[in-house]
Structure 1
């Protein structure tokens, strides 16, 4: 089998990729507003996706971490949607005041959303009144990421602000149901180690920390434990840079994803490359090149065997040429289990 599986791409830029919890489906969301669902149970027989239109560009999408047919999308139309792909049903869970740019779905049926209005919202889609809490944060919310192993929610915002919430899900749901308010103040208020705008965030597979990427070609590795010994392990490094015609070019890091078993991570940038990193050993283990366009999204399958890569124009250099809009690709790499395994120290 080829190491690269090409799927039918959407008609506009790829904004999100998400695997179902059993690895049987891959959701591809795009700026065209369409939701494509690929059956990936047999990668040797690639089929066209089932396509579901929405009224506006989708900015965030995620499968449920426990239900392989249930997913959520949100975007410029300000609405959070729930999809049941088995029944072919779609419903609007609720509406935000501004565009929803990011989401995190936790394993007990709660959905967190954030966006350009700087409000963190907590939804219970199964409740008669789904919107359970709205917290106004200091500034715009760029990214949300949830670590299920430690039940930690990270909120990355403008002006280098980072909030960390340690979630007791049972207590949170009780408080939300009683109307007492659930999240309250964050357990940590941090400042990102990155000096420029955060473009992407991913939590470690072991839940001990996170990686974040900036528009200025840097990745920061940080930890939740606030002890001096652990914080001394924080670091940031340059990557996704190149010399073109004797000019040093710096590219945004648009996507990060942690391998679910090896706890190494992948980064994708506007330099049209994907790199695999060992954050403990502080080294790059692999680089994938040859993509026709910028890397916009990354997602590992639940078992870690595959890496889905979305490649599409990211508007880093102004208005795209017509041909740049057509160079959109969704690729699945099948060699990542070995590529992501940390190498023993010599």
Structure 2
């Protein structure tokens, strides 16, 4: 079923999205952007956006009603920062990076503290709660994930993976880990010390991102070869699994340019999702209808990270160099910026299924 959605170039006018209303965030990072996270607290009327970067900093912006952002807080690491996430209450931010540690920033006090340590760079961090206790899980190139209860300096648990951890996501009790060699590990956080399931990615090439469905029944996988896979956790739903091509140019003779899928984000209300890639485009998809909702023109540089805010009316995307073309592709005039896309009502709504006569 690969190629079900077709390539994004075969567009009709109603599926082509508009970037005209997108707003650029002021005072962006000074080097490539690695991760984005919005505060998830539904009772907080404000939107705060955390941005991690190779410039060793985490920046937190308050997004104003006019779409402009202003700096709220900042935290420094001793190396490039690879991942960032908010606590559930939206009052604290946790980040991890090449300095082999994770740190927590308290937005109210501006103070930061180290909360985790690995033997190698920490590629991923996600906040979760276990029986109401605030926790974090970190994934590292030392081939382990570790759980952290912030009341202790020692990990609450360690699980050894098959390979270096490249990507990770948490939703409710579902933890999904993508490692080198295309392993995908699924953990039920009610039994955090063991793998619920291990599989190899249905995609043939290196995994770039895993992202959990909003209902935690499964996850999406994006790879370096311009493909995305939809994967359900339970075997009884395996007939719903499929993969499709995206982020690739129309074939020119025998050559098709394919691009890495760098990030996948699920809409918090509708359960539809975005893909974004090295080709500088993002797209909104409906996995249940197997339909592309909207595609957008190139934004002028690789999109390295994406996220929706808690209500789903803002889609943030980071434009910066992703090293997909190696050292020579990193020119001094390459853009580094965070853009805010106002999500129109019809852009991410699922399509009603149309029955053929």
Unpaired runs of at least 5, structure 1: 173-182
Query: Would the aligned equivalents of 1:275 and 1:286 in 2 still touch at CA under 8 Å?
Result: yes
Residue aligning to 1:42: 65
Q: CA RMSD in A?
A: 1.9
**C-alpha deviations, 1:233-257, integer Å up to 9, x for none?**
1111111000486541000000000
Residue aligning to 2:16: none
Query: C-alpha distance in 2, partners of 1:231/1:45?
Result: 43
Q: 1:132 aligns with which of 141, 147, 156?
A: 156
**C-alpha deviations, 1:281-306, integer Å up to 9, x for none?**
11111012231210100001011111
Q: Compare 107-116 and 231-240 and name the one that shifted more.
A: 107-116
Query: Would the aligned equivalents of 1:25 and 1:41 in 2 still touch at CA under 8 Å?
Result: no
Query: Would the aligned equivalents of 2:22 and 2:340 in 1 still touch at CA under 8 Å?
Result: yes
Cα gap change, 1:72 to 1:226, in 2 (>3 Å): same
Query: Would the aligned equivalents of 1:306 and 1:336 in 2 still touch at CA under 8 Å?
Result: no
Q: Which has the higher contact order (CA 8 A, sep 6+)?
A: 2
Residue aligning to 1:234: 241
Query: C-alpha distance in 1, partners of 2:75/2:167?
Result: 25
Q: 1:166 aligns with which of 188, 198, 222?
A: 188
Q: Compare 7-16 and 135-144 and name the one that shifted more.
A: 135-144
Query: C-alpha distance in 1, partners of 2:68/2:174?
Result: 38
What secondary structure is seen at the aligned counterpart in 2 of 1:71?
strand
Residue aligning to 1:196: 205
What secondary structure is seen at the aligned counterpart in 1 of 2:156?
strand
Residue aligning to 2:222: 213
Query: Would the aligned equivalents of 2:36 and 2:306 in 1 still touch at CA under 8 Å?
Result: yes
When normalised by structure 1's length, the TM-score is: 0.89
Cα gap change, 1:44 to 1:191, in 2 (>3 Å): closer
Whether 2:252 is the aligned partner of 1:249: answer no
What secondary structure is seen at the aligned counterpart in 2 of 1:251?
coil
Residue aligning to 2:340: 332
Cα gap change, 1:253 to 1:100, in 2 (>3 Å): same
Query: Would the aligned equivalents of 2:75 and 2:105 in 1 still touch at CA under 8 Å?
Result: no
What secondary structure is seen at the aligned counterpart in 2 of 1:131?
coil
Whether 2:55 is the aligned partner of 1:32: answer yes
Cα gap change, 1:37 to 1:80, in 2 (>3 Å): same
Query: C-alpha distance in 2, partners of 1:275/1:338?
Result: 13
Residue aligning to 1:187: 196
1:335, distance to aligned residue in structure 2 (A): 2.1
Alignment of 1:253-272 (within 5 A): 253-272=261-280
1:201, distance to aligned residue in structure 2 (A): 1.0
Whether 2:106 is the aligned partner of 1:84: answer yes
Query: C-alpha distance in 2, partners of 1:209/1:18?
Result: 21
Residue aligning to 1:14: 33
Residue aligning to 2:165: 141
Cα gap change, 1:85 to 1:48, in 2 (>3 Å): closer
Query: C-alpha distance in 1, partners of 2:348/2:146?
Result: 35
Q: Compare 42-51 and 214-223 and name the one that shifted more.
A: 42-51
What secondary structure is seen at the aligned counterpart in 2 of 1:232?
helix
Cα gap change, 1:329 to 1:245, in 2 (>3 Å): farther
Alignment of 1:285-300 (within 5 A): 285-300=293-308
Q: 1:311 aligns with which of 315, 319, 327?
A: 319
What secondary structure is seen at the aligned counterpart in 2 of 1:38?
strand
